[in-house]
Structure 1
Amino acid sequence: MADNVEQCRAALKRCPHGHSDRSQSLNNLAICLRDRFMQQGIPSDIDESIELHRAALFLHPSGHSDRPKAVPSDLDECIELNQAALLLRPLGHFDRSHSLNNLANSFQARFTHRGVLCDLDKSIELHRAALLLRPPGHSDRSHTLNNLAASLQDRFNQRGILSDLDECIELNRAALLLRPPGHSSRSHSLNNLANSLGNRFNQRGVPSDLDDCIELHRTALLLRPLNHPDRSHTLNNLANGLGNRFNQRGVPSDLDECIELHRAALLLRPLGHPDRSHSLHNLAVSLQDRFTQHGVPSDLDECIELNRVALLLRPPGHSGRSHTLNNLANSLGNRFSQRGVLSDLDECIELHRAALLLRPPGHPNRSHSLHNLANSLGNIFNQRGISSDLDDLGNRFSHGGVLSDLDECIELHRAVLLLRPLGHPDRSHSLHNLAVSFRDRFTRRGIPSDIDESIELHRAALLLRSSGHSDRPKSLNNLASSLRDRFTQRGVPSDLDESIELDRAALLLCSPDHSN
């Protein structure tokens, strides 16, 4: 057995970094060491075997032809071997924390590939046990703090328990204290703490969490200069933090810096880079936000082109394809609203239909696609003058009066409303949109039940837009308009009286310089 190990070591030496057979040689030596461990029970053999398997796996990145067939069985075997090694290192053994750490990492890796939550729970339990054996002053304490924090972050992502996220943040803070300026892993801890604070901001909206997140990413970026392998990730993370702060506070300089950082990240992710489509997507979203803020047409045009390129990198089967279809459709819809080019609207509708097919019942973003397609079909009624092309779809109804499009729009808005029950943050928007569509159909067909339903839906939306809600004036105004329409048809004085009172209430909520 010893001869086999030495022969494999010699073979590995003949396969330096870059050699086509290196991964196979790594695996061969790992297997020989594993077999010797099974016969002789030497813990160092299994430790080395695991590290060699990790090195071989690193040479088979995601997408490599040899990776899919190797990973599942390798992970199971890795766990079994680590469990065997742990049995040889009972309480009191000086290397027990090392075996606990390895076994925890193996369960974490299997969770990453299979998504079984009990593996993640086991990983956390083992990391906690390892941490107890690595008290303050232990050379590997920062590694265990980091690993336990990462596992808790993953569990928060799965279950949404805020105490996991809070503990993750505290562990990342503790790890950072053990990685002072000059430590090789300091930028890694800065990045992890920044990301966990950003996640907590998304949950609770505490401004200081977002500010701290941004400053930590800035510090990490200083430690990741040009040519650092993780620079593009930090550029992307800092850009996302600034984009979030812009969305919260509306400071234009945050958005401008966000765009420049996304451009810098994109330059570091050329064709073939696995994260190129993410950078294209993120830059497109930021340009869309700036167009919404300033209305510069070139920002919108660039946004559309970036979304097109991103879509090419997200073919059928890609997990992010529906997002890019949705984003490209929205940006084309915005350009139609600005310029009235009906081909943009045609494409917008087809893209929303394609996105909806990728978001079947049960998909978390199905309501968004239904909403967007419905709006494209019916909710941009007052954009431009009457078009000569009366056969175009969707919002072309407003140009040519294709009632089937409005019927479809209403059915889609009904479907959206079912997916946004009481308590959903967007329910009032869906009630409003469906109410507007019924009123539009009433003005074309004069069916009394349509205007009745429009009024009831506007009343329901108004209840969800209480005093102080930014859209309350809009709901007051729209309910007033529907009541006036019903008064015009039926002549009931109370409808007109209520309409006037609602208009007065809306007027009180609008500043003197308000556009309406």
Structure 2
Amino acid sequence: MGFLRRRSLARLLDGLAEAERRSADDPAALDRSIELWDRILEDADMRAHPMALNGAGWALLTRFRRDGAEIDCRAATRRFEQAYAAAAPGGEHRRDAAQNRCTSLVLAYEWLGDVAALDQAITLTEAEVADAGSEVPARLAGALAEARFARFRRDGRDDDLRRAIALAEQAVAAAPDAEAAAGYGRNLRTMMDTARGETAGMRTNVAGVSAARAAVTAAPQRSPDRGGRLLNLGATLYDRFVREGDLADLAEAVTALREARTVMPPVAAPYAQTCAALAVALLEQAARRDRPELIAEAVTLLGEATDRTNPHAPDYAVWLSMLGNARSQRYVHTGDPGELDAAIAAYREALDRLPAGHTDRPGLLNNLGSGHWDRYGRTGRSDDLSAAADAYRDSLAELPGDTASRATVLGNLANVLAELGDPQAGPTYRQATRSALETTTGTAVAVADTWGRWATQHGDWAQADDAYALALTAMRRLRERQLIAGDRETWLLATQHLPVAGAYAAAQAGHAEQAALRLETGRAMSLSEALQRDQRRLAGLDADAALRPLAQRFRAAARVLASGAR
């Protein structure tokens, strides 16, 4: 092929690629571009041109993202494989083909449920990364990081998570511009949060929200990227709301996600993701604003997300789990037993879709147990009680280490065992309380209080004494950790019965001195909190020279009483 012809064809390919980017939201234009790619590849000289093959594959993959047709995904992967074989080793076109092939194979797993495609993506792309040495392009490292993270979510293997984080760090370092670095950085934070055991999603800051807003502003109304950018903005705002609690962030997240849902084609996986993200935000609004109608909307959205997802895709089980949670919340508001039955069915189907060892299974099993426990409370059916115990035990068997979740599940299991009259109820309550003392003090207070009430009802004063001793320890720790005065007062009001209940249990167990100490400690704690509240009210007296000595004497007395509470 002559130089002039190669140059003309290169310009044509560049122009065609640009036209695709501009018209990807126009179904007819995208279909025409794919037909044009096919005609270009009929040329003998272009049939093995890596740039043409990459372009043709990307057009097919773009249509797959739009329509979700499996044939387009498979055809795109073949084009990328041809481009990879035709490109010179170590060259830019070969790296592009490797990255594109990895992306299409991961999509085949995530959208079509092709498990083998994910493993193939990792094996082939790791080989290319190894050949690249220290010069791994950001796109290639980022694609492989996403593939490794997807397999971690599937199998729960720590080596996949560690490798995903290392690759994401490489992608951030090698990013060609700030926008690309921000995108890789968001993925990296999600992976690192997962490694720390956090579930709130990626941690964001003002800069992250500002960048997401700017990305939406820069996308024209008909841009194919606008829906994805709105989804990212909504997710970023929601994650900041989870961390900081600003309801304005939650409201803006809902607005962004509603718009994202209107501009996205309703056939692709991102549309289902948008429905699910919007449902989560609406459930949060429903809880904070007492608007049960938002729960009904969330149920509808999650049903839509499930209906539009391939049952073999990994997100299918996630949407089912979320649908179960939403239906459980709707049951609480409506009392409709059909909602609870549907929630239990959703949890069971989701569990059937997840392989053993999957990181989502323990939480799902706990939710399933809670569904059966709630249904037992409504119907009194013994099979629901047994099913709840089995689910909680299975959850504990699959939970790693001594986590906050473990304490919660242990407490749930103890409640079921107590209802069954199982003698292991007491030891399980004890284990749950001690576990919670190291992780979530509020849970420790609640579990120990329940344990104490149960032991008191059964006249087991030794256990009741132990339970309230741990409850009071947790109560003191919780009070010390509550930096906001209003939070301390709320907890003090909710736990004000513990010193009296603990004193009664100690007296019945034959520990009179301990009973007196618990009563005095509770009294001192209440007085100390009251004095601290009064101190805040007295702060304005310092401005009055005549009243300042009185305020100082009051504070001195408060310090004496506070030392007694400790």
TM-score tier (shorter) = 0.7 to 0.9
Equivalent pairs, count: 449
Match of 1:195 in 2: 235
When residues 428 and 364 of structure 1 are mapped into structure 2, their CA distance, relative to the original with a 3 A threshold, is: closer
2:83 is the alignment partner of 1:30: yes
> Letter of the aligned partner of 1:233 in structure 2?
Q
When residues 418 and 451 of structure 1 are mapped into structure 2, their CA distance, relative to the original with a 3 A threshold, is: closer
Q: Give the helix-richer structure, 1 or 2.
A: 2
Q: Deviations over 1:456-477 (max 9, x none)?
A: 2343344356575545445333
> Letter of the aligned partner of 2:420 in structure 1?
R
Q: Give the unaligned 5+ runs of structure 1.
A: 87-98, 133-141, 379-394, 398-404, 510-516
Q: Deviations over 1:307-338 (max 9, x none)?
A: 23323223534432222221111011112122
Tell me, in whole angstroms, the C-alpha distance in 1 between the residues paired with 2:240 and 2:395.
30
Contact residue 329 and residue 352 of structure 1 kept, 8 A: yes
Q: Which of 466, 473, 477 is the equivalent residue of 1:460?
A: 473
Q: TM-score, normalised by structure 1?
A: 0.72
Match of 1:475 in 2: 495
Match of 2:454 in 1: 440
Tell me, in whole angstroms, the C-alpha distance in 2 between the residues paired with 1:104 and 1:20.
21
2:257 is the alignment partner of 1:217: yes
> Letter of the aligned partner of 2:375 in structure 1?
R
* CA RMSD, Structure 1 to Structure 2 (Å): 4.3
2:444 is the alignment partner of 1:430: yes
Q: CA deviation at 1:354?
A: 1.2
Q: Kindly indicate whether structure 1 or structure 2 has the higher relative contact order, using CA contacts under 8 Å at least 6 residues apart.
A: 2
Match of 2:327 in 1: 287
When residues 28 and 269 of structure 1 are mapped into structure 2, their CA distance, relative to the original with a 3 A threshold, is: closer
Q: CA deviation at 1:356?
A: 1.0
Q: Deviations over 1:243-265 (max 9, x none)?
A: 12223333223222222222232
When residues 429 and 67 of structure 1 are mapped into structure 2, their CA distance, relative to the original with a 3 A threshold, is: closer
Contact residue 227 and residue 263 of structure 2 kept, 8 A: yes
Contact residue 410 and residue 432 of structure 2 kept, 8 A: yes
Contact residue 75 and residue 109 of structure 1 kept, 8 A: no
When residues 148 and 181 of structure 1 are mapped into structure 2, their CA distance, relative to the original with a 3 A threshold, is: farther
Tell me, in whole angstroms, the C-alpha distance in 1 between the residues paired with 2:341 and 2:73.
45
Contact residue 138 and residue 170 of structure 2 kept, 8 A: no
Name the SS of the counterpart of 2:376 in structure 1: helix
Contact residue 33 and residue 48 of structure 1 kept, 8 A: no
Q: Deviations over 1:427-453 (max 9, x none)?
A: 233244235425533554555x43432
Q: Which of 412, 420, 430 is the equivalent residue of 2:436?
A: 420
Q: CA deviation at 1:353?
A: 0.9
When residues 205 and 79 of structure 1 are mapped into structure 2, their CA distance, relative to the original with a 3 A threshold, is: same
Name the SS of the counterpart of 1:316 in structure 2: coil
Name the SS of the counterpart of 1:180 in structure 2: coil
Tell me, in whole angstroms, the C-alpha distance in 1 between the residues paired with 2:279 and 2:337.
22
Contact residue 195 and residue 213 of structure 1 kept, 8 A: yes
- Listed as ranges, the matches of 1:29-108 within 5 Å are 29-34=82-87, 36-38=88-90, 43=91, 45-46=93-94, 49-50=97-98, 53-54=101-102, 57=105, 61=109, 64=114, 66-67=116-117, 70-79=120-129, 101-103=138-140, 105-106=142-143, 108=145
2:148 is the alignment partner of 1:124: no
Tell me, in whole angstroms, the C-alpha distance in 1 between the residues paired with 2:216 and 2:45.
40
Q: CA deviation at 1:485?
A: 5.0
Tell me, in whole angstroms, the C-alpha distance in 1 between the residues paired with 2:309 and 2:95.
35
> Letter of the aligned partner of 1:299 in structure 2?
E
Q: Which of 158, 170, 185 is the equivalent residue of 2:225?
A: 185
Q: TM-score, normalised by structure 2?
A: 0.66
Identity percentage over the alignment?
Answer: 17
Tell me, in whole angstroms, the C-alpha distance in 2 between the residues paired with 1:9 and 1:411.
70
When residues 155 and 327 of structure 1 are mapped into structure 2, their CA distance, relative to the original with a 3 A threshold, is: closer
> Letter of the aligned partner of 1:215 in structure 2?
T
Q: Deviations over 1:382-441 (max 9, x none)?
A: xxxxxxxxxxxxx122xxxxxxx24x223223323333336x4x3233244235425533
Q: CA deviation at 1:215?
A: 0.7
Q: Which of 396, 413, 419 is the equivalent residue of 2:420?
A: 396
Q: Deviations over 1:161-206 (max 9, x none)?
A: 9986443323222222221322220111110111111111111211
When residues 338 and 49 of structure 1 are mapped into structure 2, their CA distance, relative to the original with a 3 A threshold, is: closer
When residues 436 and 482 of structure 1 are mapped into structure 2, their CA distance, relative to the original with a 3 A threshold, is: farther
Tell me, in whole angstroms, the C-alpha distance in 1 between the residues paired with 2:319 and 2:370.
18
Tell me, in whole angstroms, the C-alpha distance in 1 between the residues paired with 2:180 and 2:284.
30
When residues 158 and 192 of structure 1 are mapped into structure 2, their CA distance, relative to the original with a 3 A threshold, is: farther
Q: CA deviation at 1:241?
A: 0.6
Contact residue 365 and residue 392 of structure 2 kept, 8 A: yes
> Letter of the aligned partner of 2:345 in structure 1?
E
Tell me, in whole angstroms, the C-alpha distance in 1 between the residues paired with 2:203 and 2:106.
33
Tell me, in whole angstroms, the C-alpha distance in 2 between the residues paired with 1:82 and 1:206.
45
> Letter of the aligned partner of 2:495 in structure 1?
S
> Letter of the aligned partner of 1:450 in structure 2?
Q
Name the SS of the counterpart of 2:109 in structure 1: coil
Q: CA deviation at 1:18?
A: 3.6
Tell me, in whole angstroms, the C-alpha distance in 2 between the residues paired with 1:292 and 1:471.
24
Match of 2:427 in 1: 411
When residues 412 and 221 of structure 1 are mapped into structure 2, their CA distance, relative to the original with a 3 A threshold, is: same
Match of 1:354 in 2: 394
When residues 362 and 488 of structure 1 are mapped into structure 2, their CA distance, relative to the original with a 3 A threshold, is: closer
